[in-house]
Amino acid sequence: MRETMSKKPRKFDSHSIPRRLNLLFAFVILLFMGLLARLGYMQVVNKDFYVKKLATASKTKVTTSSVRGQIYDASGKPLVENTTKQVVSFTRSNKMTAADLKETAKKLLNLVDVSDTEISQRQAADYYLADSEVYSQVVADLPKKKKYDTDGNKLPESKIYKNAVESLDSARLAYGEEDKKAVTLFNQMNSIANFETGTIKTDDLTPEQIALVASSSKTLPGISITTAWDRKVVDSPLASIIGSVSSEKAGLPAEEVDDYLKKGYSLNDRVGTSYLEKEYEATLQGKRAVKEINLDKNGDMESVTNISQGKKGDNLKLTVDLTFQNGVEDILRSYFNAELAAGNATYSEGVYAVALDPNTGGILALAGLKHNTSSGALSSDSLGTLTNVFVPGSVVKGATLTAGWENKAITGNQTLVDQPISFGGGNPITSWFTQYGSRSITALEALEYSSNTYMVQVALQMMGTPYSANMNLDFDKLDSSMEKLRASFAEYGLGTKTGIDLPTESAGYLPKDFTFANYLTNSFGQFDNYTPLQLAQYAATVANNGKRLAPHLVEGIYANNEEGGLGDLIEKKESKELNKVDISEEDMSLIKQGFYQVVHGGSGFTTGRTIAQGEAVPISAKTGTAETFVAGGQAAINTNVVAYAPSDNPRIAVAVIFPHNTNLSATVSHSITRDIINLYHQSHPLN
């Protein structure tokens, strides 16, 4: 028989319960004291913070954009204006449901016309699910995994809604034309945030429709009639540089939305998206109207307070006079049509000219004609002056001499032998004097006669390998020498951005891969490509003795007068110096004297004397012909000029590019340059 083990009786400690209760009470007291301390901190020490937090929790601010400023030419003629019209607007309450919006859209459709009924599948789905009963049924029909996660917890409402949208088949969303109109109105209202106001796009309203909508405010909550503006760019050669403004539907550009929101913009705000409209967005946008909406304890709107009134944006006045701009384009068109008639411009893509004030950087004209080589049509192309690139030819030779002086390859007006230059039996690089034999010429004469071989010898000496017949070539310094040559060119704006007050311009085309031959031909403008604007900046930099100024289109920012037009000057656009060419005054004077001799030299080898024929004031220039080819391998040239006038007190600098002219002796760019300067002289006497 198993022995029964007796349990030892447990002794009860009568003192353990009071000790535990005391500890519990002490813990509760500590918690209570902590709570009192926290309340004291909130109500006494940090009272202002929490009072402000409570106040802002019951308030919300709404901003509304104002009418944009306008853009005028130098004489005050409008280049872009605002047109106004009566439109439907919608202010969204925070209590409005999707069903409310749907009902309002249907009612509004009875009062207005809607032609644009292009809707997306998602927009159709949002409209379909706006009915709460329909949405509940669609959600009820979803598989369990589309409503709950693996732990059985309900998915976020946004995820469930997305799954509901994806579950709809196209048959349910096959709306007819009338329903699509309602969908269009609904989705515009649904895209407007709580308390904000947006324009609802409809067909243009008739006076009767305006009256009907205005009188239906009780049955159309949030709907009213307001005045909206639209942007109208005046038809002119400058239209392309004005740029564009987003629609209210498009709102802020997706790639810049975060930056704009940080600046206080709303998603549906209209902003400049290109060129002047974009570059001067902050100026043109104007002051935004701000309203403060006060909410009661239930979140309902209690009152609205106007914090600040909106103000029309400031205006821009440009440096370009539209009359002169039109005149320059007329000159280009006249000469281009003449070359077309002669059969010389069949393959040319157009003709371009830029005029600058060399003393301020102000742009006087950005003129271009684009030639459709298939149809033969000519169209204005001002933008091409800063986006299209061309082989410049010999116009760059002043910059090549600069590279020689800066890198100790030549000194002053150094004499070199103009002679055919060849390597290893290849085709020689020649100049004017090949048929007459070699001769010594100075740096100044190298500009006047446009000597290629002088420039090649400068480039060779920059490599540390002066030219001699049957010389051995050393390419160790090729890359560094090209870098130095391009650096000197960039001091004049060649191959680098000019700094124009537009968000987009080409920096030119400078191939990274090049050969020894490319380096040599680049010294006389036969490799790298530049824009007409870069060449004009080069001419202006020579004209003002080596100071490179950023070109600018805007002369100043102006207020509005009582009629909303061009008012008083607020801020004048100041000249911006980018750099100074790093050569002596004596060397710069040699370039300027050489440019003068190009036009007025007495030698039979002088290259630009046709410019002087009929000049109203003395013109200094450098001409250039870049060898190119067109369809079928036919030889052609880019006939180019950079110039300034008057020679002794420059007030206008010009660059002209006429590419792919099949007349290999064409000097049409010379005549264009002279006529542009003469035209400017007529309205702005230069002597």
> Residue-wise over 274-309: b if at least 16 C-beta within 10 A, else e?
bbbbbbbbebbbbebbbbebebeeeeeeeeeeeeee
95, 116, 208, 303, 547 from 220: Cα distances, Å: 14, 22, 17, 20, 64
Closest residue by Cα to residue 114 from 125, 106, 122: 106
Sheet containing 652-661: order of strands: 378-380, 363-371, 350-356, 652-661, 635-645, 620-629
Query: DSSP character for 633?
Result: G
Given the residues 240, 348, 394, 488, select the one marked as catalytic: 394
How wide is the angle at C-alpha 240 spanned by C-alphas 237 and 246, nearest 5°? 145
The count of C-alpha atoms lying within 13 angstroms of the C-alpha of 111, restricted to the half-sphere facing its C-beta, is 24
- Stated as kind and residue range, the H or E segment containing 102 is helix 98-109
Phi then psi dihedrals of residue 584, to 5 deg: -75, 165
CA distance 346 to 661: 8
365, 405, 481, 546 from 587: Cα distances, Å: 30, 8, 21, 10
Long-range contacts of 187-193 (CB under 8 A, 24+ apart): 187/119, 187/123, 187/126, 187/127, 188/90, 188/249, 189/90, 189/92, 189/101, 189/104, 189/105, 189/222, 190/98, 190/101, 190/126, 191/268, 192/90, 192/91, 192/92, 192/268, 193/92, 193/266, 193/267
The alpha carbon of residue 391 and the mean position of all alpha carbons in its chain are separated, in whole angstroms, by 25
Q: Is 379 a catalytic residue?
A: no
Tokens of 612: 């002087």
Strand-pair category, 554-560 with 566-572: antiparallel
**Annotated catalytic sites, by residue?**
394
